[in-house]
Amino acid sequence: MHLKLVRSGGFAGLDMVATVDTDDLPAEQQDLVAKLLTADLQGPGMSRSGGADQFSYQLEIHHGERTVSRHWEEPAVPETVRPLLAALTRQAKPAR
Amino acid sequence: MSHQPLACILPPDLLLKLAQEGSAEHRSTILQTLELDHTFRLRRAELAARQLARPAGALTAGAGGTPDRSIYDQEHSTADIPGTLVRKEGQGPVDDRSVNQAYDGFGLTYKLYWDVYHRDSIDDQGMPIQGLVHYGDAYDNAFWDGAGHMFFGDGDGHLLTDTTKGLDVIGHELTHGVTQHEANLTYSGQSGALNESISDVFGSLVKQRHLKQTAAKADWLIGADIVGPELAPALRSMKAPGTANKYDNQPADMDHYVHTSSDNGGVHTNSGIPNHAFYVTAITLKGKAWEAPGNIWYDALCDPRVKPNTTFAKFAAVTLRHARSRYGTTSVQADAVRAGWDAVKVRVR
């Protein structure tokens, strides 16, 4: 499986993009990706209206012919997903 | 626009993909559908945002003129509630530079709003100012959460460094709160870019006033004190949008307005247009930008005619109206405002 993460927004307004093969991820993050293929994990609350400069994350999971997209907005990112997003963000490059 | 029943039931990400792969005609229709769907959701969100909760203690405000600051250490967690209270109003500096920078930056921002615009804090009723520092792990961001809290990350040292180092950053975030209490500009498209621009404008004015700089002397850069090597020398330039760093694609006029679905319709990109209009207004008047130009922009922000969905053109018209009423119909200030909007090709009616 391949993953593409786009982090957009933030005070800097800079899109950051990472493309990763799931084989390169630790086992627990591979398990999480498998879960995300079938379950849209969301945080405990909706992102609050009136906020500004918060990040949003768009994760595409490419599995064979299938592509699944998941979307999260700060601060409503589930704690279970944060380590994966942090790991992908560390590999991300500015998009423009 | 023609109705697209298929488009209405599809999720936004699939619509985007279809738009990318479809014909020009379909692309246009799909993008309009996406925009409309986003607008409906934002209208609902906007109604909720006006009901901003006031932190405890907000109703005990006195006569004004003194901020009520609290700085919390988030200890690198991503909790969305305040962590450990480490410095509150009236207490001296602590052994944490980020805490002190946030405290001092909020003080200078409060002073600009109080001394120049006679505004008592975020809500003009002495609302407590709450800064949450050391948010997340090497977190490359600072943000306003819509509920009275400003979060500051330490940066990864490559893209950004400690975000509390930027006085303009602190002024920018607090101004998002002011905007939420006034025009409550919807955070998408032109109104979102205007929301961002107003934060850049008053963030820059806090810094210029602190440094005692005239418009001509100021560098008009945003984020120059928090960028790491990858984004140096700054995040944005109000003087020359699109030139602040190698990734900066801000337009400087309406001919180059960026249509995108990213970042709520490019709110941090198209803000370059009203940013530059303010810069031209200020530089035309030559003096201190927080005086006449700042007063005009502040008057416009507080004008009930500026609604959540206000466009650049509508906001421009309101600034001109206030320049004329405050300084005179044929005043140099009114002429400067018109010159500012002319420079970015926003037609002022």
Instruction: List all residues 6 or more positions away from B345 whose beta carbon is below 8 Å from its beta carbon.
Output: B253, B254, B255
Residues of B with a known catalytic role:
173, 268
pLDDT confidence of residue B33: 43
Compare CB distances from B146 to A50, A71, A94 and report the shortest one's residue: A50
- Is the pLDDT at B242 greater than 70? The verdict is yes
Radius of gyration of chain A (CA): 13
| Band of pLDDT at residue B283, cut at 50, 70 and 90 | very high
pLDDT confidence of residue B209: 98
* DSSP string across A17-76: EEEEEGGGS-HHHHHHHHHHHH-----SSPPPTT-BS-EEEEEEEEETTEEEEEEEETT-
All residues of chain A having their beta carbon less than 8 Å from the beta carbon of residue B172 are: 11, 53
ipTM of the complex: 0.91
Q: What is the mean pLDDT of chain B?
A: 88
All residues of chain A having their beta carbon less than 8 Å from the beta carbon of residue B137 are: 86
Digit-coded pLDDT (tens) for A24-75: 999 999 999 999 998 888 766 555 578 999 999 999 999 999 999 999 988 8
- Is the pLDDT at A77 greater than 80? The verdict is yes
pLDDT confidence of residue A75: 80
| Band of pLDDT at residue B345, cut at 50, 70 and 90 | very high
All residues of chain B having their beta carbon less than 8 Å from the beta carbon of residue A10 are: 140-141, 143, 268
Instruction: Show the beta-strand stretches assigned E in B93-145.
Output: 129-135, 142-144
DSSP 8-state assignment for residue B113: I
Taking the CA of residue A91 and the nearest CA in chain B, the distance in Å comes to 12
**8 Å CB contact of A15 and B263:** yes
Of A40-44, B101-105, B170-174, B217-221, least confident by mean pLDDT is A40-44
* Closest chain A residue by Cα to residue B163: A11
Does the beta carbon of B231 lie under 8 angstroms from any beta carbon of chain A? yes
Rounded mean pLDDT, A66-87: 91
Strand partners, A20: A3
Contacts by A83-89, CB closer than 8 A, 24 or more apart: A83/A29, A84/A25, A84/A29, A84/A32, A84/A33, A85/A5, A85/A7, A85/A57, A85/A59, A86/B137, A87/A25, A87/A26, A87/A29, A88/A3, A88/A5, A88/A18, A88/A20, A88/A59, A89/A5, A89/A7, A89/A16, A89/A18
* Closest chain A residue by Cα to residue B234: A12
Question: Are B197 and B256 a contacting pair, CB within 8 Å?
Answer: no
* Closest chain A residue by Cα to residue B156: A90
Taking the CA of residue B121 and the nearest CA in chain A, the distance in Å comes to 17
Phi-psi region of B124 (alpha: psi -120 to 50; beta: other; left: phi over 0): left
Q: Which amino acid is at A22?
A: T
Rounded mean pLDDT, B211-220: 98
Digit-coded pLDDT (tens) for B63-96: 789 999 999 999 999 998 999 999 999 999 999 9
pLDDT confidence of residue B52: 53
DSSP 8-state assignment for residue B148: S
| Band of pLDDT at residue B12, cut at 50, 70 and 90 | very low
pLDDT confidence of residue A49: 75
> How far apart are alpha carbons B162 and A38 in whole angstroms?
38
Between the alpha carbon of residue B25 and those of residues B4, B5, B37, B41, B260, the distances in Å are 12, 16, 19, 25, 17
Q: Which of B152, B127, B146 is nearest to B69 (CA)?
A: B127
Taking the CA of residue A72 and the nearest CA in chain B, the distance in Å comes to 13
Does the beta carbon of A40 lie under 8 angstroms from any beta carbon of chain B? no
pLDDT confidence of residue B250: 98
All residues of chain A having their beta carbon less than 8 Å from the beta carbon of residue B180 are: 50
- Which two structure tokens, joined as six digits, stand for B56? 């405890």
Does the beta carbon of A80 lie under 8 angstroms from any beta carbon of chain B? no
pLDDT confidence of residue B62: 57
- Is the pLDDT at B300 greater than 50? The verdict is yes
Compare CB distances from B80 to A50, A69, A75 and report the shortest one's residue: A75
All residues of chain B having their beta carbon less than 8 Å from the beta carbon of residue A71 are: 13
Digit-coded pLDDT (tens) for B163-193: 999 999 999 999 999 999 999 999 999 999 9
pLDDT confidence of residue A24: 94
Q: Are strands A16-21 and A2-9 parallel, antiparallel or unpaired?
A: antiparallel
| Comparison of pLDDT for B308 and B38, the residue scoring more | B308
Q: Which of B232, B234, B202, B229 is nearest to B219 (CA)?
A: B234
What residues 112-141 of chain B have any CB closer than 8 A to a CB of chain A?
137, 140-141
* Closest chain A residue by Cα to residue B269: A13
- Is the pLDDT at B344 greater than 90? The verdict is yes
| Comparison of pLDDT for A23 and B52, the residue scoring more | A23
pLDDT confidence of residue B1: 33
Rounded mean pLDDT, B126-144: 97
- Is the pLDDT at B35 greater than 90? The verdict is no
Percent of residues, chain B, with pLDDT higher than 90: 81
pLDDT confidence of residue A74: 86
Query: Which of A36, A53, A70 to mutate to test binding with chain B, by most B CBs within 10 Å of its CB?
Result: A53
- Is the pLDDT at B8 greater than 70? The verdict is no
Q: How many CB pairs under 8 A join A and B?
A: 103
pLDDT confidence of residue B47: 45
Does the beta carbon of A73 lie under 8 angstroms from any beta carbon of chain B? no
All residues of chain B having their beta carbon less than 8 Å from the beta carbon of residue A54 are: 141, 143, 145
Enter the pTM of the model. 0.86
pLDDT confidence of residue B123: 98
Q: Are strands B149-153 and B129-135 parallel, antiparallel or unpaired?
A: parallel
Q: Are strands B149-153 and B221-222 parallel, antiparallel or unpaired?
A: unpaired
Does the beta carbon of A91 lie under 8 angstroms from any beta carbon of chain B? no
